[in-house]
Amino acid sequence: MLLSVINMIESIIYDFNWTLIIAIFSCFISVVSLYNSWRSRTNNEKFWLKEQYYKSLSEAVKIESSYDNIFPDENRSLIMIHNKSDFKVYDVIVLQGLNNMDIFNGQCTSKACYVREICGQCREYFTMQYRGLGMSKFLVVGVFFRDFQGNEWYRDSYGITKVGDGYKEKLSKLKLITPPYPYKIDNR
């Protein structure tokens, strides 16, 4: 009996079509390798997107604004925007407000100044009018702009940089700017 069982197992092993098992196993290995390459690609894409975001943020931090009150009798101030980056910035909108205002959400004391682009390592000057200052109030500047990768940013006088997605639409709704935008607007 035992001998017949062993003979039967040997005949099954000998007569069995092993090519089917090998084909199934190779398909399984192919599916696993496809999954691993897909996972590696998506991880690389996520890493690249994060790298691009931080590169844009580091370039956005290089935008600086400052102001000097050089016309004290006329309630005007001179504002300088300095692009310390090597890349151009586009659709630059400058707002001026008091230190207790939320410029990011459109609170300001003057009309917006608009510049289509500022080249890398360049400065742009504006004169802006303001209404009177109060006690313990001082002027601050907020700058909205789009970087060379199309990301939209906001940077204020304190050096705080925020993502400013959709800033032109938001400022248009607040009637601070009106499209189409000319090359340069200021209050001269």
Question: Which tens digits make up the pLDDT trace of 81-91?
Answer: 888 888 888 88
- In CATH terms, the fold of domain 63-185 is Immunoglobulin-like (2.60.40)
Q: Where exactly are the structural domains of the chain? A: 2-58, 63-185
Residue at token pair 């300001």: 108
CA 120 vs CA 55, 65, 94: distances in Å: 15, 15, 17
- Give residue-wise pLDDT tens across range 19-76: 877 888 899 999 999 999 999 888 888 887 777 776 666 665 566 655 555 555 566 7
The mean pLDDT of the chain is 77
Nearest alpha-carbon partner for 168 in 184, 133, 144, 187 = 144
Strands of the sheet containing 161-163, edge to edge, are: 161-163, 152-156, 139-146, 89-98, 113-118, 184-185
Instruction: Give the C-alpha separation, 89 to 30, whole Å.
Output: 47
User: Quick one: average pLDDT of 127-134?
Assistant: 67
DSSP for 31-52, written as a single string: HHHHHHHHHHHHHHHHHHHHHH
Q: How far apart are CA 177 and CA 183, in angstroms?
A: 13
Q: pTM of this prediction? A: 0.58
Nearest-angstrom CA–CA distance, 67 and 141: 8
Q: Return the pLDDT at 74.
A: 63
Query: Where do we find the tokens 């290995």?
Result: 29
| pLDDT above 90: percentage of residues in the chain | 4
Query: What pLDDT was estimated at residue 188?
Result: 38
Cβ neighbors of 64 (< 8 A, separation 6 or more) are: 81, 82, 84, 155, 159
